[in-house]
Structure formats: structure tokens, C-alpha cells
Chains A and B, each alone.
Chain A
Amino acid sequence: MSEAVQNSRLAHWYRSWEEQTESVTLAMWFFLVTEVMFFGGIFTAYLIYRAQNPEAFAAASHHLDIVMGGVNTAVLIGSSLTVVMSVWAAERGKQKALATWLFLTMLLGLTFLVIKYFEYSAKFEHNLVPGASFEFHDTRAGEHGYVDPSRARMFFHLYFFMTGLHALHMIIGLGIYGVLLFNTLKGKYSVRWHDPIPVAGLYWHFVDLVWIFLFPLLYLIGRH
């Protein structure tokens, strides 16, 4: 890439390349602070309601498909690895490797959403989606006693809200990585300037982090 094009990437109000990279990375970290508080609100609601109805939440969580949840966790951790590899490739200017890792990340992200789609459609079939058709039966083995369906429905309120919000963040992530892939194929990035790759990586890792907490809190309660 010609020197002129590269220099146009250094915005005139920054004093050096490092300063620009640091500022952009810092801005993303600040944004992640807002995301932590954003998910923090709904996690607070989850913790309060679970503390108030542990039995109902355990019974409701039993309906979630732990296989799909586990696979999704593996898929997301895999996508974190491909993101890290894309940053590794970008730092060394390996354009072809960068493009493949970005594509793999998008592929894994898409897999996650497809598995999510199957999970949601399974919930529709078992009418576990909050609304008129919601009906709940405690399917746990052994004697657990009576569980109030309305409290179990509260679990599904939280489940659909949290996983839906997470899936929305995943879709936004796919959009970002689509743009990155497009730019990489057009040769916009070089060893000298490739800031968007690690910054978008931070966002993707955060979405993975949210799932790392969502998975145990939603899927793994009431399994014993």
C-alpha cells in the first residue's frame, strides 16, 4: 500500500500512530464498560428472582437443552480463538490468513445463531414461550414437589430476554466482521495500520464473555 494511503489513515489530530491505536483501543474498553453495566442490569434481575424462587428456576432450567448450550459454548470459545488468530495474522500483515480467520469467525458466529434458532423453535414446540400458550410441567426426575408455573415462566422471561439480547449482540458482531472481511479483501489493512481488527476482536471477546456467564447461570442449575 502506498505510503500516502497509509498516512491518510493517521488522523491529523493524533500526534503518532501509537497514540491513535491507544485511543481507539481505550475507546472500545470504555464502551465495554457500558456493556458490562448494560448486561449488569438484567443479571441483577436474574440474581434477585433466582434467589426468591430457586425451585421454580431449577425446574424451568431443566427444560433447556444442555447439549445445544454446551456446543454453543464450545462454538463461541472457538470463535474467540479464530478472532485471536485474525489479530495475530493482522499484526504480521498476512492478508490471506487474516481473511480466512475472519471468515472462520463469522462462520462460527453463524453456527451459534443457527443452534440458537433450533433451541428457540424447540421451545415453541413445547409451548415454553411466554404468552397465551405457555404451559409448564416439572420434568425433573425424583420427588421435587410442586412448582408454581408462573414462577417458572419468570425464568423463561429472563431466558428469552438475556439470550435474545446476547444473540442481538452476536448479529451486530457478525455485521462488524462482515465489514472487516470486505475491507481485508480490498486490501485496506497492513502491518502499519490494522486497528479495526483488534478493536473488533475486543467486542467479540466481550460477547463471548457474556455467554460464558450466561451458560452456567441459565443452563446448569437444577441438573443434579
Chain B
Amino acid sequence: MNPGPGQKEQDMSSTAEHQTDAPPDYLNDGYGLRSWLLTTDHKRIAMLYLMSVTIFFMMGSFFAALIRAELVTPEGDLVTPDMYNRLFTMHGVIMVFLFLIPTIPAVFGNFFVPIMIGAKDLAMPRLNLASWYVFNVGAVLILYSIFAGGLDTGWTFYVPYSSSYSATNVVTAAVGIFIAGFASIMTGLNLMVTIHRMRAPGMTWFRLPLFVWANYATSIIILLGTPVVAITILMVGAERMFQLGIFDPAYGGDPILFQHLFWFYSHPAVYIMVLPAMGIQSELMAAFARKRIFGYRYVVYSSLGIAVLGFLVWGHHMYTSGQSAYAAAVFSILTMLVAVPSAVKTFNWTATLYRGSISFQTPMLYALAFMGLFLVGGLTGVMLGTLGIDVHVHDTYFVVAHFHYVMVGVTVSAFMGGLHYWWPKMTGRLYPSFPSKISAILVFLGFNLTFFPQFLLGFMGMPRRYHAYPVEDWQVLNVLSSAGATVLGVGFLLPAVYLTWSLFRGKRAPANPWGAVGLEWDIPSPPTKHNFEEDVVVTHEAYDYDARRDAIAAAAAAKQEADLV
């Protein structure tokens, strides 16, 4: 899907023709393992994160492929039920905690937030490097639990199964998630302090690019939500190891209290996953329509609105769980309110294209796919928030389809869009545009073929986490879904090929290949170690294409001359 080169970045960069006086770019600013593993440069740490999350994305996808293979036949005869439980649990845990939550803030947030606000680096570079190591330690613990017998509690760890009935290594995985969560807190903290303290002179709050705003809102959620799941997981660990049965009904404990504490984090966590993706979407729409985002302030307020309202709605995961009907009604009203900011953003992105100058390069294909899939994902979310419908479709494939439309359809396509948008800036290389467009289309088609049938399966009553389904006529839809999964898999593998190829033989990227406006496009690609050679003073708004008309013309000319298609 994107470069997963085994060895470190620096041995692959081509023979760098050193400009005599200009400082070397950050990739060539030091060679050898030490310069990479002990770097405090936010750009190198972002590349290290990119490698880690790519490996975990591939592992998670591998488990997903096995799940889809299993569900081709109703009998569920590919793997035993225990194995299947481990498969969907590890697919969930790896994808949620090791890919979706860290990726965009830790890769693109780390790389571009400092550049976009005109800073030389993050507020605490050493903490940034430490977060990468802590993240990998947590990941190793989670992955170790696979080989030591796996985990079969589902990524939700519902008590009392996870605390007293599961014989798998829940505690190892729980400690792994705790540590990975700590890395997420470190990243969130770093971004928060940087955005507050390190903005260049002239970069006022409402001149910040929307990607920075999105990371700001995400950091709020990370800082307020992650600790609660950390303590909840510690409680489950304490119950398993020291018999401190805090959720054990035998001592008056309440399994539904676990669900409250778990979802208090896990719903805002889905906004941790989706808000940065919305930030990338705003960047892509502005860059490829060459126009200011329509209603910039409303998009900012809706990001902050989502961050705050996100904490008020977690009860919609528990409508049928024995939670009181009145509390369910309160959570349902608030869920309807939290859907409004997302609707506002969708309308604003659509309005941005009006009278814009739209070009259909690969990142824009992903952005347009984002729009379609976010409509479906968002509106089915509203359906699930409606009390009446959720009673029937809770814990069925309708829910699985909804959150995959939002997680894969929205977050991953924004990640792919962002990757293709910033790849020239991060690596100084251009990738071939034809295969990348093919892979974008493949991803879109494969995705819809995989997950749209699951909406139908869900309403017909197929429960989730079933390795075998007794109803014969569900098989057709399941086979369609599995077929879609293979197309999606190919669609995601293609970028790994051509992006890695571009690292060696891709054309040299000019400073502004897309003719976009933003501090990151005013510096060479790849940028130097300290990003800006002279102090930056910001005078324009975020996407002020009119003021930068000449710069765009020059960039377009440079691109023409580098005979890019």
C-alpha cells in the first residue's frame, strides 16, 4: 500500500548530488542506523512511524483476508471457531490500536504540523522519538500475544468474558494496548503544545491550515479520552491477576459499568481516527480545486464541535445492553447533534468545488471517494443512532459495514490521499500517475463490493463475529463481500509497489508539484533538517490562492518543464 521497504530509508535514497552550499535535505542529513534510530527530527520520526504502521496495516489486512475466506461458506470450515475468534480479535486490535489511532497524527501530523505553522520542529522532539519507541514496545507486546496463543475477547474486551472466562493472554495484550495508548498520548501532547506555543509570527489561530486544526481537535480527544481506557484495561488486568473483581457481578460489580468506561474512550477514539482524515480531506479539496475552503471558520468550529460532542454520545453503543431506556434516549438525542458538524463539513467540502479549478490527480480521486463513502458511512451512523433501528441491527453486520465505511472508506482513503499528496514533499520523488489512479479506482470499487452487501446481511439479521451462519441464502452476499475483499487487497498492494519504485527511480519532485498554497509547498522537497532557512512571517490566510497567483504560475511552469504528465 505504501513503502514497506525492509531496510531503513537512507540507504535507498539515490546518489545525492550535494548542492555545494545549500544544507542537505533531511533524508541526506546523516547516514547510518544511529542517525535514524536516535533522530529527533520530526520528519524522520514521521517516516519511522510510516514504516511501523505500514507493517501493522499489512498484518491487520492479512487477518481480514482470512476472515473473509472463512465466511465464504456457511459452515465455517476453513478454521476452527477458536481460531476464528482469535482472527477477528487480532484484526480488530491491530487495526484499531496500531493503525487507525496512531497513523495520521503520528505520520502526517508529526511531519507537517510543524512545517504548516512555520516551526523548526515539534515542542518536545525527544518525547516524539520516545513515543515511537513506546509505540513499538506496545505493538510488540500485542503481536507477541498472537504467537503466545492469541487473544479471543474481541477488540472491545467485554467483561465478564475478558476478565473471568477467556483463557487467552488478555493481560499481555492489555498491557500492550496500554503502552500503545501512552504513545498516542505523547503524540497528542506534543502536537497540542506545538500548536499552542510554536506558531510562527503572523500565524494566528484562524490562519492555521485545517489539517492543523484537525490535529488540534484530535489531540484534545486523545488527551481527555485515552487515559480512561487505560484505567479500564488496568481494571480488567487487575481482575484477572489479583482477583480484584471490580466488574465481577458476584461482588456487586456491574458489567455495564465496564461498557460505560470503555465506550467513554472508544467512541471519541473513532473521532480520533476520523478527524485527522477530515483535515487531510480539507487540504486535498483546497489544493485540487485551488480555492479557499468554503466557510473556513464553520469547518473549524465543526472540528471542535465533534471533539467536544464526541464525549457525550458513547451510550449509543449500549442501547440493547440493559442500559436504562431514559439514558438511551438522552444518548440518542446527543448522537443526532454530533452528526450535525459532520454534515456541515460535507456541505462545505461540496461548496468548495463550486467555481473552483478542479484537477483529477490521484489524491483528488481519493478525496472524491472520501465524499461518497463518508455520505454512506455518516448517514448509516445516524440510522444506528436512532433508537428504533438500532435495536434490530445492533451487533449485526449492519454495524460492521457502518464502521468499515467510516474507518476504511473515510480514514484509510484520506490516509492514501494524503500519502499520494505529500509523497513528493516527504521523499523528493514523484510516483507514476497512471498506476496510482488505477489503484485508487480499484480501492473504491473493491471497497464498495466488500462492504455494501454487509449492510443487507446486517438488516437480514446476520450477527457479527459469527464464524458460521446457519441461514443458506446469506451465502451469496458473503461470497460477494469476500470477492470484494480480494479486489480491495490488490488495490492496497499496488501503491506499495509503485511508491517503493518511485523511491529509486521516480523523477525528482519540484518544490510545488501540485501548484498548491501552503508553507509546506514553499520549501524544497524533501525539506531541510530545520524546515525553514530564514524566519517565516505569515501574512496570508490558509488557502489564499488569489494572493499567490504568481507563485502558482511559477510552480505550474516548473512542473511543465519537468515534463510531468
Contact = CB atoms under 8 A, between A and B. Distances in A.
Is A–B contact present in the complex under a CB 8 A cutoff?
A: yes
Contacts of B89: none
B231 A38 contact: yes
A35 B121 contact: no
B560 interface: no
A42 interface: yes
A45 B246 contact: yes
Contact residues of B: prevailing secondary structure: helix
Interface stretch (B250-258, B350-358, B500-508): B250-258
A171 B147 CA distance: 33
Give the residue among B192, B193, B224, B245 with the most A Cβ atoms within 10 A: B193
Interface residues of A, number: 38
A161 to B, nearest CB: 5
Given A12-B120, A13-B125, A44-B261, A34 B185 contact: yes
A48 interface: yes
Contacts of B127: 27
Contacts of B523: none
Contacts of B193: 23, 26-27, 30
Interface in A35-73: 35, 37-42, 44-45, 48-49, 52-53, 56
A13 B121 CA distance: 6
A33 B242 contact: no
B227 interface: yes
B433 to A, nearest CB: 36
Contact of A161 (B235, B251, B253): B235
B352 to A, nearest CB: 33
B252 A42 contact: no
Contact of B242 (A22, A35, A148, A160): A160
A24 B198 CA distance: 12
A33 B243 contact: no
Given A13-B121, A27-B123, A27-B124, A37 B225 contact: yes
B558 interface: no
A119 interface: no
Nearest to A27: B193
Interface string B439-467: 00000000000000000000000000000
B253 A33 contact: no
Nearest to A19: B197
A41 B231 contact: yes
Contact of B251 (A12, A40, A154): A154
B242 A151 contact: no
B427 interface: no
Interface string B236-272: 0010001111100011111001001100100000000
A41 B123 contact: no
A81 interface: no
Contacts of A31: 185, 189
Given A30-B193, A52-B252, A157 B245 contact: yes
A214 interface: no
Given A27-B193, A31-B189, A161-B235, A151 B252 contact: yes
B64 to A, nearest CB: 31
A130 interface: yes
A167 interface: no
Contacts of A130: 242-245
B238 A161 contact: yes
B253 A42 contact: no
Contacts of A22: 197
Interface string B471-515: 000000000000000000000000000000000000000000000
Contact of B230 (A13, A26, A38, A151): A38
B125 to A, nearest CB: 7
A41 B228 contact: yes
B253 to A, nearest CB: 7
Contacts of A56: 252
A150 interface: yes
Contacts of B245: 130, 154, 157
A158 B226 CA distance: 21
A131 B252 CA distance: 16
Interface string B198-231: 1000000000000000000000000111111011
A157 B253 CA distance: 10
B252 A34 contact: no
Contacts of B198: 13, 23
B227 A13 contact: no
A40 B229 CA distance: 11
Interface string B120-141: 1101110100000000000000
Interface in B110-159: 119-121, 123-125, 127
A22 B235 CA distance: 35
B92 to A, nearest CB: 22
Contact of A41 (B227, B242, B253): B227
25 contacts: A26-B193, A26-B196, A27-B123, A27-B124, A30-B193, A31-B189, A34-B185, A34-B227, A37-B224, A37-B228, A41-B235, A42-B235, A45-B246, A48-B254, A49-B254, A56-B252, A130-B242, A131-B242, A131-B243, A148-B252, A150-B250, A151-B251, A151-B252, A161-B235, A161-B246
Interface of A: 12-13, 19, 22-24, 26-27, 30-31, 33-35, 37-42, 44-45, 48-49, 52-53, 56, 130-131, 148, 150-151, 153-154, 157-158, 160-161, 165
Interface of B: 119-121, 123-125, 127, 185, 189-190, 192-193, 196-198, 223-228, 230-232, 234-235, 238, 242-246, 250-254, 257, 260-261, 264, 530
Given A27-B123, A45-B257, A157-B238, 7 more contacts: A13-B125, A31-B185, A38-B230, A40-B227, A41-B230, A130-B242, A131-B243
Report, nearest first, the 9 A-B pairs whose CB atoms are least far apart: A41-B231, A38-B227, A37-B227, A157-B244, A13-B120, A154-B251, A34-B227, A13-B121, A41-B228
